[in-house]
Amino acid sequence: MKVSRYLSFWIVLLLTVALVAAAAAGKIAWWWAVAPALLSALGIWDMNQRSHAILRNYPLMGHFRFLFEMIRPEMRQYFFESDNDGAPFTRKERSLVYQRAKGEVDSRPFGTELDVKMRGYEWVGHSLSPTIIASHDFRVTVGAERAQPYSMSVFNVSAMSFGALSANAIRALNRGAKKGGFAHDTGEGSISPYHREFGGDLLWQIASGYFGCRNGDGSFNEEKFVAQATSPQVKMITVKLSQGAKPGHGGVLPAAKITPEISATRGVPMGVDCISPATHSSFSNPIGLLEFIQKLRTLSGDKPVGFKLCVGHPWEFFGIVKAMLQTGILPDFIVVDGSEGGTGAAPLEFVDHVGMPLQEGLLLVHNALVGAGLRDRIKIGASGKVITAFDLARTLAIGADWCNSARGFMFSLGCIQSQSCHTDRCPTGVATQDIGRQKALVVPDKAERVYRFHESTLHALQELVQAAGLPHASALRAHHIVRRTSDHEVKLMSDLLSYLQPGDLLNQNYRYPVFAKYWPISRAESFHPAEPILAQPIQAAA
């Protein structure tokens, strides 16, 4: 037994004995011995407990290890991070959102802190003949063929459910969206009273749990859907197939976390775990998906209806496109969620290693629609770490028509990236159902910050578009973005990314391996390929 491991314990124990003896002799008050005695008792418990080897080997001192581990994120964030450190968002990115949300100066002095010689560094090519654009209120019309088309901002609140976010967070987001004239996605948790309170435009998301429009067994209920979807506040309906945080993974909201409000909003019983299945029960193949979309469009009074996904197997999305060609049923929009998405808590393996990142997923969806001759009839939204005007410009240039942001708008509410969303102990009242913690989020103040963040970001986008010499944000293309590929070479993004031409897939002009390999075997009748995907044999080392 090494004395050093137990030194702190022996010191405390001897101090306790000495103080007890002094108190017994009447030299000091007994309360002097209370704290050392309690620490001695803790040390004895440490040496005999069986859960933590560190505490058995280092009684008392071992607790410092757990303390330091607990406060490590805060210590790193407040004392050791540089402006360009931090994940998933750097201090500089978070600070930019805070400054814009508060209406503070967001300019930076003394030049960039980024390494412009670093591989992957990107910038917007500017023009010697900048334009002047009258307004930064860039908008895109979705569902132009519908009876109730929607003119939406190019920057909107991404999907975050009531239940994941607090009531006050939902109120502030919707009030800010109302003032700024942009859309607020409900997430799959359905439409709560807090979404309706201020009348901001809603994008209602319907996932596999059919929350807000479900029967007792979890299946889709038409009457409940109609009651919600025909509300004038609901502008579009999204069928969620998967999300960037955990594509292909269902979810469970434990019974203990289901409040009466969540129960009423989602249409689920109290005292029972709320299950979000990994798959939909209303359809099982691409044709079924499109028929379900058409059904929702009819039931909603011909509002724009589309679907959201994080792209996985390419042949599955190609099968959906083939189903569009076969049935003539087109979604009004598709939202591509990159695997960078992160407001939904998920297993680490899913967070880090499942799903296509936004650039690859967006490019595949855009190309498939172009190649099938459908791109001009279907709008594309995109989400995944989009918080700055450059993020917007870059994503629009790749192929999106608009962008959504979740964590950006959480920052505007006061989120400090404590990454405690799943614990119900959010320190700023954003992602918690704790009533006391929620009260810290003052709705009028935070709603104004939501509005200002959106307003300032679009103003910055306007300045980027003007600098590029373009008439509108929709004119951004991949050749307007430049990327460094090595310390001595740069290339236009259009030369780095692969783009199809209109009708290529219809003419079997596949151009690139992903289309040549997977388009021919994709099927409108099934998400499964027409033939097995055979892996290439592994070559033995010479």
43-99 pLDDT, tens digit per residue, is 899 889 888 888 888 898 888 887 877 777 667 666 666 666 666 778 888 889 989
Could you please report the per-residue DSSP string of 198-242? S---EEEEE-TT-TTSB-TTS-B-HHHHHHHHTSTTEEEEEEE--
Collapsing DSSP to helix, strand or coil, 246 comes out as coil
Q: Do 530 and 523 touch, CB atoms closer than 8 A?
A: yes
Tokens of 271: 């005292």
pLDDT score for 470: 97
- Res 535 pLDDT > 60: no
Residues 6+ apart with CB under 8 A from 144: none
Query: Which string of b and e fits 162-198 if b means at least 16 CB within 10 Å?
Result: bbbbbbbbbbbbbbbbbbbbbbbbbbbbbbbebbeeb
- Res 539 pLDDT > 60: no
Q: What is the pLDDT of residues 417-468, one digit of tens each?
A: 877 777 777 888 888 887 888 888 899 999 999 999 999 999 999 999 999 9
pLDDT score for 533: 65
Higher-confidence position of 506 and 93 = 506
pLDDT score for 346: 67
Phi then psi for residue 379, to 5 deg, are -85, 155
Collapsing DSSP to helix, strand or coil, 165 comes out as strand
3-state class percentages of the chain: helix first, strand second, coil last, to nearest 5: 40, 15, 45
pLDDT score for 85: 67
Q: What is the pLDDT of residues 319-353, one digit of tens each?
A: 999 999 999 999 999 999 988 876 666 677 777 77
- Res 494 pLDDT > 90: yes
Q: Is the pTM of this model over 0.75?
A: yes
Pairing label, strands 379-383, 274-276: unpaired
